[in-house]
Amino acid sequence: MIKRLIKKIFGGGTGSEASSTQSVAKLKTLTVKEHQINPSLVSGNAIRVTSTLQQAGFKAFIVGGAVRDLLLGVKPKDFDIATDATPDQVKRLFRRAFIIGKRFQIVHVMFGSDLLEVTTFRGASSDGAPKDEFGRVLRDNTFGEQPEDATRRDFTINAMYYDPASQTVLDYHGGMADIRKKTLRIIGQPEARYREDPVRMLRVVRFAAKLQFEIAPGTRAPIRLMAPLIDNVPTARVFDEMLKLLSSGHALACLKQLRHEGLHHGLLPLLDVVLEQPLGARFVTLALNNTDERVRQGKTISPGFLFAALLWHQVLEKWQAYEATGEPAIPALHLAADDVLQTQTESLALQRRIGTDMRDIWAMQPRFDRRIGKTPYKLIEHPRFRAGLDFLILRAASGEIEQELADWWTDFLAADAVGRETLLAAKPRMNKKPAPKKTAHSAAQSAAQSAATEAEAEMPAAVPKKRRRRTRKPAAE
Ligand code: ATP
Ligand code: MG
């Protein structure tokens, strides 16, 4: 229904309107004085790749996000290279180079563990490319000239090319001016570009939040109306983008911006849940702040932990509902987890491995209530114990459970044999199921900050088969 409406408003993408990618590029060549890129931020391996290609007679540039970050004085996290050499020609020039992809081939050039992606300039016109019924380009794999390659890129600030040898930046679409204005501007006609690839709507939001840039009015205007087109994008791609967004170091800002742009409704059910649930808002805020902090410190984050946190309050709600029907606590929790995972797996293409991690973290939570006999010793041996405990600490920090429980387990983990026995002797043998408790937000915040989500413990290699509901073995013994 919504799709039909969109189709009616924006047409079916039959290529009848002028494609955005036909806009004429106006090239500017920026000198060091104008761009002021600090050469020490440029990866030595990226320079090796561009100079090897150039010495072999090809054009070669650092491109995309790396140039954007260099212009902003930020060290890029990875370097992409664009060239007029074909993938075969690239491969022949490097000892460890691998052609990836079937339809549009790119080359991965490796130096030790450093990977650089080398892409041949792509052709401009998407008019002839196969599209789905809403105008989303399904395949568009022609090689092309550099100006065409620039025009195919998403935003003006992502369409600049840096040549480390001459230290010049080629700017086809006024990217430098937009960097100065802190503006995100889509290249070409916004509606057409979003229709070709609706993921660009998520990208614009991610970049706006991450870079703290404004979205140009023309780039922003169609998003609200065109948002439902994301529904039509393969879920795996939406999930990848969500993961990028959540691991950007600005996850909270990104989610707020998505909501602000009307991109969360119905499209990303995960976000509907996360952002429209007052009960869970504090928990989610703490979890995301925590994640952002870890990313900024260069630490790894675990998608399983993150999604477990985002969906916890939905699980809690369903858990209580199952218990209210007379289901015992542990099976009720598993039923709730099943429900939530099933919905999200369908809509978000949550990978099974991530789903397994989430379930492990959730299932561990009631086990923390049992501080009796050998149970705590068993629990700390669990391969995901650290993630489970970090989750418990967040729950305490958000005021959902008593702080005392999280502190006890933290102490238990750190204690020696005597200390553990003392803790066991001193504490209640079994906790009652906690009732949500209110605490001051600032206290919660500081507690959460100290809760490093060391969630990168080994993940289980095998994914257990989906078990039948009523025969599930309780997690707690
Ligand atoms: P990040 O810092 O997140 O890696 P990035 O701009 O490098 O940002 P990538 O996804 O690595 O993002 O893409 C590299 C480049 O490829 C972009 O800068 C842009 O020029 C181009 N690009 C990526 N995705 C799209 C898209 N959906 N449509 C058009 N161009 C794209
Ligand atoms: Mg990149």
- Our answer on whether the CB atom of 122 is closer than 6 Å to any ligand 1 atom is no
Three-state DSSP class for residue 86: coil
Which atom from ligand 1 is nearest to the alpha carbon of 69? Answer: 2
Q: Which of 84, 140, 149, 154 is catalytic?
A: 154
Fold annotation for 26-189: Beta Polymerase; domain 2 (3.30.460)
pTM for this entry? 0.79
Contact 153, 207 (CB under 8 A): no
Segments making up each domain of the chain, as ranges: 26-189, 282-471
Residues of the chain with pLDDT under 50: 1-24, 434-477
Residue 69: active-site member: no
158 lines ligand 1 (CB under 6 A): yes
Residue 7 confidence (pLDDT): 46
> For position 364, what pLDDT does the model report?
97
Q: Kindly give the distance from the C-alpha atom of residue 415 to the centroid of ligand 2, in angstroms, as a whole number.
A: 44
**Can you list the alpha helix ranges (DSSP code H) found in 59-143?**
65-71, 87-93
* Atom in ligand 1 nearest the alpha carbon of residue 200: 27
- Kindly report the protein residue whose alpha carbon is nearest to atom 28 of ligand 1: 154
Active-site residue (options: 80, 338, 360, 390): 80
For residue 242, with 0-12 CB atoms within 10 Å meaning exposed, 13-18 middle and 19 or more buried, which class applies? buried
Ligand 2 mean position to 80 CA, how many Å? 7
pLDDT, position 206: 95
Q: Is the CB of 199 under 6 A from ligand 1?
A: yes
b/e 405-436 (16+ beta carbons within 10 angstroms → b): bbebbbebeeeeeeebeebbeebeeebeebee
The maximal CA–CA distance of the chain, rounded, in angstroms, is 78
64 lines ligand 1 (CB under 6 A): yes
pLDDT score recorded for residue 240: 86
> Could you confirm whether 390 is annotated as catalytic?
no
| Ligand 1 proximity of 65 Cβ (cutoff 6 Å) | yes
CB 466 within 8 A of CB 310: no
Reply yes or no on whether 369 is catalytic: no
Instruction: Identify which ligand lies nearest to the alpha carbon of 186.
Output: 1
**Ligand sitting nearest the alpha carbon of 63:** 1
Q: Does the CB atom of residue 338 touch ligand 1 within 6 A?
A: no
Give CATH for domain 282-471.
1.10.3090.10
Beta bridge partners of 302: none
Ligand 1 pocket test: which of 136, 137, 154 has the largest number of ligand atoms within 8 Å of its C-beta? 154
